[in-house]
Structure 1
Amino acid sequence: MKNDEIAAQSFNESISAKQAFLTGENIARIVKSAELVADSFKKGGKLLIAGNGGSAADAQHLAAEFVNRFEIERPPLPALALTTDSSNITSIGNDYSFDQIFSKQVRALGKSEDVFLAITTSGNSQNILKAVETAEAIGMKVVILTGKGGGLLAGKGDVFINVEAKKTARIQEVHITFCHVVCQLVDRMLFQKV
């Protein structure tokens, strides 16, 4: 296969993954996720986000969209990626285990009026699973964004969203689109007349 064919195939796979995701049920889940985040912000809560690898990058990307701005000028919104503090991550990982790098942060920072967004392409990351359990124990709302059937997180959380794609890259591309749409909807719910 030639390079131009590979490039076209990758774009077509990405388009197909997004089209397959675009069901009425998934749209309702996206809207529900945005409503949970908007309601949390209205109550003085915040959004905590975690993921590993590319999902960590998505967590940071989404937090930046809320804290800075997305498409409209508006006040900053309280969102925090739990993937950015290398001192916390390495001290927890060293003193306890990598499985606790997010759950200890959720326990320290999370309140019942907050939302926890777990991003994992497999649904099997132990550190995400433990963070979900901790968030639920605190009484936080939990949104799970996953793929490949959801793994150990299948069906958990207040909102469970699974991307049925075979390749991790395609799952991640749907995930970041989800993040952008949630930002758009939250901005609309909070700052534009609906």
Structure 2
Amino acid sequence: MLEQRIQQQFFESADLLYQVAENLSRPLAVAAQMMVDALTAGGRVLTAGLGISAADATYMASLLSGRFEQERPGLAAMALDAQAQGYADPASALMRQIQTFGHPGDLLLLFEAQASGAAGALLQVAHGQEMSVIVLSGAQDDDWRATLLDTDVQLRVPHSRFARVAEAHRLLSHCLSDAIDVQLLGAAE
């Protein structure tokens, strides 16, 4: 019984990734180009996430500032800290950091695997700083989508289970990292 349940986790994850591959490939390519444009123009990528998505933001910043699969100079990326001291809630901490560190030409990469209710406010702050925005989101149907600009990109993984969305976000991070490396360095031999 337990083995079947475990196998079902694999099958569900694989099915989701197969289903979204075609729909997300174009917006992923656009998002990767946005990131390359920001970085090569002297901008930075600020990553952010609330709750468990903060770990995805940190991971993505590490892939950019460190390396993915090819050796390259570090790229200007940093994860914002949702747990910064002195703030009543993590969203307030992120808003303050976007205001402090975000500049015109920078890009906010927001991970939103579970509805937090704060994404709209974070997007508005980023737009106020004249930043571009890429949002990796889940199936929740939140009001914040109305705050997306035509120049923003949403990479939406339509699934009701948080675990499946989080798994897909990790793959999307790898796809973005690979696409950035290919554009900057060429394909690995």
Q: Does 1:13 align with 2:7?
A: no
**Native 8 Å contact 2:99 2:125 kept in 1:** yes
Higher helix share: 1
Compute the displacement of 1:153 (Å). Answer: 2.6
Q: Which moved more, 1:98-107 or 1:66-75?
A: 98-107
Q: Does 1:172 align with 2:166?
A: yes
TM-score by length of structure 2 reads 0.91
TM-score by length of structure 1 reads 0.89
**Native 8 Å contact 1:92 1:101 kept in 2:** yes
**Native 8 Å contact 1:150 1:162 kept in 2:** no
Runs of 4+ in 1 over 6 A off after TM superposition: none
Name the CA distance, whole Å, in 2 between partners of 1:144 and 1:187: 20
Residue 190 of structure 1: which of 178, 184, 188 is its match? 184
Q: Which moved more, 1:141-150 or 1:104-113?
A: 141-150
Q: Which moved more, 1:97-106 or 1:67-76?
A: 97-106
Aligned partner of 2:62: which letter? Answer: A
Q: Deviations over 1:88-130 (max 9, x none)?
A: x12133xxx443111110000001111101111234431x322
Report the equivalent of 1:90: 85
Aligned to 2:142, the other structure's residue is in SS state helix
Report the equivalent of 1:139: 130
Name the CA distance, whole Å, in 1 between partners of 2:90 and 2:54: 14
Report the equivalent of 1:120: 112
Name the CA distance, whole Å, in 2 between partners of 1:68 and 1:190: 14
Aligned to 2:156, the other structure's residue is in SS state strand
Report the equivalent of 2:21: 22
Compute the displacement of 1:150 (Å). Answer: 4.2
Structure 1: gaps spanning 5 or more residues? none
**Native 8 Å contact 2:50 2:116 kept in 1:** no
**Native 8 Å contact 2:140 2:160 kept in 1:** no
Compute the displacement of 1:152 (Å). Answer: 2.4
For residues 182 and 150 of structure 1, do their structure 2 counterparts lie closer, same or farther at Cα, with a shift above 3 Å needed?
A: farther
- For 1:28-177, list aligned pairs within 5 A: 28-83=26-81, 86=83, 89-93=84-88, 97-126=89-118, 128-154=119-145, 156-157=148-149, 158-177=152-171
Compute the displacement of 1:135 (Å). Answer: 0.6
Name the CA distance, whole Å, in 2 between partners of 1:169 and 1:109: 31
The count of corresponding residues between Structure 1 and Structure 2 is 185
Percent identity (aligned): 26
**Native 8 Å contact 1:100 1:130 kept in 2:** no
Compute the displacement of 1:191 (Å). Answer: 1.6
For residues 72 and 150 of structure 1, do their structure 2 counterparts lie closer, same or farther at Cα, with a shift above 3 Å needed?
A: farther
Compute the displacement of 1:149 (Å). Answer: 4.0
Compute the displacement of 1:15 (Å). Answer: 0.5
Aligned partner of 1:37: which letter? Answer: M
CA RMSD between the two structures: 1.8
Structure 2: gaps spanning 5 or more residues? none
